[in-house]
Amino acid sequence: MNLTLDGKGALYDQIARALKLEILEGRIAAGSKLPSTRVLATALGVSRKSVLQSYDLLCAEELAIARAGSGTRVAKAVPMRKASSEIGSKPQSQYAARIDSLPPVSLGAGHLRGLKYNLLYGEPLVDSALFHSWRRKLSAAALRAGPSYPRAGGYLPLRRAIADYLGRRRGVICDASEILIVGGTQQALTIVERTLLDPGDRVVVEDPHYQLAVHSLLAHGAQLVSVRTDEQGLVVRELPKGKTRLVFVAPSHQFPSGVAMTLARRLDLLRWAAQGESWIVEDDYDSEFHAGEGSLPAMRSLDLADRVIYVGSFSKTLFPSLRLGYIVCPRSLRDHFFKAKMLDDLGSPALEQAALATFIQSGQYERHLRKTVTEIAARRHAIVEALQRLAENHIELGPHRSGMHFVVWFRRLGFDRLDAFIERAKSVGLGLHPVHPYYRHMPARPGLLLGYAGLSPAQLKTAADLFARCCEGM
């Protein structure tokens, strides 16, 4: 017998573990006799006591049997640890079963990673000055936030800073007490679902939609109804009759179509929600990156019936690894949302909240936003201008005044040739991502979701040039 100890933990534990491995993998046969404790102790150069203890452990686990006078034997029926391959991951709950049947996610498709001109949505605008400044803020915040459990609802100065910002910039008038700090939009949705939905409750999502929101809703057991959007946003008159618990919308910048919901539609939707006592989740992502005459008022600012759950995050305006966002809670839901957050994780980490509070209060956040908006606009202009100039007879551009991406639709290319087109682009270093996976009802023509935040204007011009060349060749 050739035992190898792994040096981890108590000696008797190491010996027992090594023996276990030999037994379980069949190198010591079931029913066979183990060496005497004296022999094994000498062989391993350890005390007899350690070997004795390890044998006791094996007996306690019923892997071995000690008999007075006849030493210790390996048990005849050894409980085999199941090999990895044998373990089915049988879902243990309805939630787990629903997770198993979720459709695949397209966002961040890995096979195009590493391409020089990857027009991937969700790549942040990397700003080294921001990072530098953020490090200083964090360092200072470590002293201020303190070591104790944070308030589950969030660090109060941060909630005040957000309330103030929302009033000034989005016309959302609210108090710090109504703001709940969460770990990004995804957690906001988790909390909303837990508090508002029973499995089987009806929820309306826009078509097209943000996939991870839909996944979260499906995992929670929501009965999803997908409602069409047009160039004015969600088609409110097509909303289902009868009880709908929740509508999930992104009125500032529909994802991924880029449409901004018109004021008339916003008011229609608010009226519909007030009449049917439905809740509206307003995901106000990307509202900060609007070009031109400024964005429309947030639905929350128009909401008299207190039906809007306003959700924002700092993933796009600062960086995604921050994992901070917030919910502006309707008054009647506030207590439930706060308790759900507490029960979920006792609150988000305090340090980053303190750093972010300073960042907003000092005005640095809005200076950073202005700088980012300018830079994003330059990138947007570079690719839009180049595509319009070089490829407009091949593609039609969707709305592109806001955000960090837009959609282009092929004028002539059919779905049958889309994969070949994407492959051709890949061969010249251009990463392209189809938009149809975001649609519940297949669009009439193939299109692409072009994310441009991660590339410089010069790179984007080259990307547009490559794109045009791919078009010519088809």
Q: Which is nearer to a second copy, 349 or 437 (CB)?
A: 349
The binder of a second copy chosen from 57, 425, 468, 471 (CB under 8 A): 57
The binder of a second copy chosen from 18, 119, 145, 236 (CB under 8 A): 145
Cα three-residue angle 117-313-397, rounded to 5 degrees? 40
CB 206 → a second copy: shortest distance, Å? 19
The binder of a second copy chosen from 48, 160, 202, 336 (CB under 8 A): 336
Q: Which is nearer to a second copy, 86 or 416 (CB)?
A: 86
Asked whether position 339 contacts a second copy by CB under 8 A, the answer is: yes
Q: Quick one: which segment of 340-348, 367-375, 428-436, 462-470 binds a second copy (CB under 8 A)?
A: 340-348
Subset of 300-329 contacting a second copy (CB under 8 A): 301-302, 304-306, 315, 319-324
CB 453 → a second copy: shortest distance, Å? 11
Subset of 155-214 contacting a second copy (CB under 8 A): 167-171, 173, 182-184, 186-187, 190, 194-198, 201, 212
Task: Determine contact, residues 121/405, Cβ cutoff 8 Å.
Answer: yes
Task: Determine contact, residues 49/11, Cβ cutoff 8 Å.
Answer: no
Question: What is the DSSP code string of 38-52?
Answer: HHHHHHHTS-HHHHH
The binder of a second copy chosen from 131, 362, 411, 423 (CB under 8 A): 131
CB 296 → a second copy: shortest distance, Å? 9
- Count the Cβ atoms, other than its own, within 10 Å of residue 206: 27
| Phi, then psi, of 179 in degrees rounded to 5 | -100, 125
Q: How far is CA 10 from CA 16, 48, 354, 431, in A?
A: 10, 14, 42, 53
String of contacts with a second copy for each residue 16-55, x by CB under 8 A: -x--x---x-------------------------------
**Tokens matching residue 217:** 């809703």
Angle, helices 364-391 vs 350-361, to 10°: value is 80
| Phi, then psi, of 332 in degrees rounded to 5 | -75, -15
CB 238 → a second copy: shortest distance, Å? 20
Q: Which is nearer to a second copy, 151 or 440 (CB)?
A: 151
The binder of a second copy chosen from 294, 363, 414, 473 (CB under 8 A): 294
CB 325 → a second copy: shortest distance, Å? 9
Subset of 71-130 contacting a second copy (CB under 8 A): 79, 81-82, 84, 87-96, 99-100, 108, 122-124, 126
CB 386 → a second copy: shortest distance, Å? 26
Tell me, rounded to whole angstroms, the distance of Cα 129 from its chain centroid. Answer: 26
Rounded Cα gap, residues 182 and 382, in angstroms: 35
Subset of 351-410 contacting a second copy (CB under 8 A): 351-352
CB 76 → a second copy: shortest distance, Å? 16
CB 463 → a second copy: shortest distance, Å? 20
Q: How far is CA 82 from CA 24, 26, 60, 79, 86, in A?
A: 10, 13, 20, 9, 6
Asked whether position 237 contacts a second copy by CB under 8 A, the answer is: no
CB 79 → a second copy: shortest distance, Å? 6
DSSP 33: B
Asked whether position 340 contacts a second copy by CB under 8 A, the answer is: yes
Helix (H, G, I), strand (E, B) or coil at 355: helix
DSSP 79: -
The answer to whether the peptide bond before residue 256 is cis (omega within 30 degrees of 0) is yes
Report the length, in residues, of the chain. 474
Asked whether position 292 contacts a second copy by CB under 8 A, the answer is: no
Beta-bridged to residue 281, according to DSSP, are: 248, 309
Asked whether position 6 contacts a second copy by CB under 8 A, the answer is: yes
**Tokens matching residue 63:** 């892997």
Q: Quick one: which segment of 139-147, 383-391, 425-433, 445-453 binds a second copy (CB under 8 A)?
A: 139-147
**Tokens matching residue 194:** 């837990």
DSSP 177: G
**Tokens matching residue 348:** 């988000």
